[in-house]
Amino acid sequence: MYRFVLTRQWVCLTLVALVLIPVMIQLGFWQFHRHEHRVAQNELIAKNLSAKPVPVTEVTSPGHTVPRNDYWRAVTATGTYDSAHEVVVRMRTSHADRVGFHVLTPLLLADGRAVLVNRGWVPGGDDPRAYPPVPAAPSGEVTVTGRLKADETSGGSGIKDRKGLPDRQVMLINSEQQAAALGRPVLGGYLELSGPAPGDGTPEPVAEPDHDSIGAHMAYAIQWWLFASAVPVGWVILVRRERRDREEAAAAEAVSPEPASA
């Protein structure tokens, strides 16, 4: 009765179904793990942003790689801005998705070391290779607060660290690169400036990372698992429909009148 499932057509269909089921299950787990990662990241961001700020020198040092658990940690630093070694970071977007630059200014600490401070976003001028108009950094000793971030690398950011860029322009925020330019030790990572509050004519602050939305990864995971469960159900439905069609065709053939003999 079900010998037709051994035909070439049905064997191929069955093999395709057997391949689709584990693939869809795996895709569901992939989306589920992405959901778990997003939830954990949101919790980490919220915890680090709400924590009491600590001196940046307590959590990083020259050559230090900022671990993920310290990303976005609230830190403070006291020193004087070194505007002579300020650079801008190309291809950065504003809150309104306008492309411009981030302003990266070294803050010289009392012990002779420096920490990089991302003071915010500024628009580019008419010539993208020219140094953009950048509001001057505050003079004298200042105390700033910010969110600690890890050095950017080509592998981690997907941004290519191009050579031959215009003077005082970079593609990546990297403490080791800037230490070579400064000729002094630079603390690993950098600060995204969050305080004091920006005034008129200052760079646009970098927005806090989103830590409220979790995306639709869980919904996608459930969808993939439902698709995986629907495959065998669909296969059974197709088998029963094929058997019914064959039985109806056989019955019709049995009752059809034989052609009259000559």
Positions in the chain short of pLDDT 50: 262
Spatial distance between the Cα atoms of 23 and 18, rounded to a whole number of angstroms: 9
Closest C-alpha to 148, from 102, 193, 92, 99: 193
Spatial distance between the Cα atoms of 3 and 73, rounded to a whole number of angstroms: 66
3-class DSSP string for 44-104: HHHHHHHCCCEEHHHCCCECCCCCHHHCCCEEEEEEEECHHHCEEEEEEECCCCCEEEEEE
CA dihedral 208, 158, 218, 21 (to 10 degrees): 180
CA distances from 35 to 30, 41, 67 (A): 9, 10, 21
Spatial distance between the Cα atoms of 194 and 48, rounded to a whole number of angstroms: 13
C-alpha 151, offset from chain centre: 15
CA distances from 143 to 47, 60, 108, 149, 234 (A): 23, 17, 11, 18, 66
pLDDT at position 126, please?
74
Residue 205 DSSP symbol: P
- Under a CB-based contact definition with an 8 Å cutoff, are residues 161 and 173 in contact? no
Spatial distance between the Cα atoms of 122 and 138, rounded to a whole number of angstroms: 16
pTM of the model: 0.74
> Residue 101's beta-bridge partner residues?
122
Spatial distance between the Cα atoms of 163 and 5, rounded to a whole number of angstroms: 62
pLDDT at position 256, please?
67
CA gyration radius, the chain? 31
pLDDT at position 147, please?
94
pLDDT at position 241, please?
87
pLDDT at position 121, please?
94
196 upstream amide cis, omega within 30 of 0 = yes
Burial of 105 (0-12, 13-18, 19+ CB in 10 A): buried
